[in-house]
Amino acid sequence: MENRVNVLFVCLGNICRSPMAEAVMRHLVEQEGLDGQIRVDSAGTGDWHLGSIPHEGTRKVLQRHHISYENMKARLVIPEDKEAFQYILCMDHKNLKDVRRIFNLNDEQASNGSTKLMTFMNLLPDSGVDEVPDPYYDGRFDYVFELVEQGCKALLEQIKRGLEQG
């Protein structure tokens, strides 16, 4: 589809935050009937969990909300992602810095061409939070889900406006 929008969520190991965001966004996109127009993926900046399914805490919170994580496996961000995705949302500032390094962008370059590269919490500027905390370390999967769900809803509205204009 010519108006297809590709979204990539990025965290450190691609087993907690970014797959949660991928699953939530896919769910919202399907509910809106836009799965043919919006493709969603996730990746990590570290290689510790390559090929692994989402973390048990992520799986449990998604199951409670009846959201599928089927066929999701951890992968690394690769340089080609810069061209393949229009939205690349990093869960924290370290992930953003690492993605810029992978894409060979200096710190001042927030986006490259048609790609919007930013931290996820830029979607929720009034939240008072500037990073999505890593529940791998603190176990706050429900809190992360709340942030992810709010941010994904905001992102979907932004994408829908762009699709209507495009």
Quick: pLDDT tens for 45-61: 999 999 999 999 999 99
Give a yes or no: residue 60 inside a domain: yes
Total domains in the fold of the chain: 1
Catalytic residue among 11, 16, 90, 152: 11
The answer to whether 127 and 121 are in contact (CB under 8 A) is: yes
- pLDDT of residue 2 exceeding 60, the answer is no
CA atoms within 13 A on the CB side of 21: 35
* Structural domain of 143: 5-161
Give a yes or no: residue 139 inside a domain: yes
Give a yes or no: residue 166 inside a domain: no
Tell me the pLDDT of the chain averaged across its residues. Answer: 93
CATH of the domain at 150: 3.40.50.2300
Looking at residue 166, its pLDDT comes to: 65
- pLDDT of residue 114 exceeding 70, the answer is no
Looking at residue 110, its pLDDT comes to: 53
The pTM of this model reads: 0.94
26 is catalytic: no
C-alpha–C-alpha distance, residues 9 and 96, integer Å: 11
Catalytic residue among 81, 92, 98, 134: 134
Distance of alpha carbon 127 from the chain centroid: 18
134 is catalytic: yes
Instruction: Kindly state the DSSP code that residue 121 receives in the 8-state scheme.
Output: G
81 is catalytic: no
Catalytic residue among 17, 59, 75, 100: 17
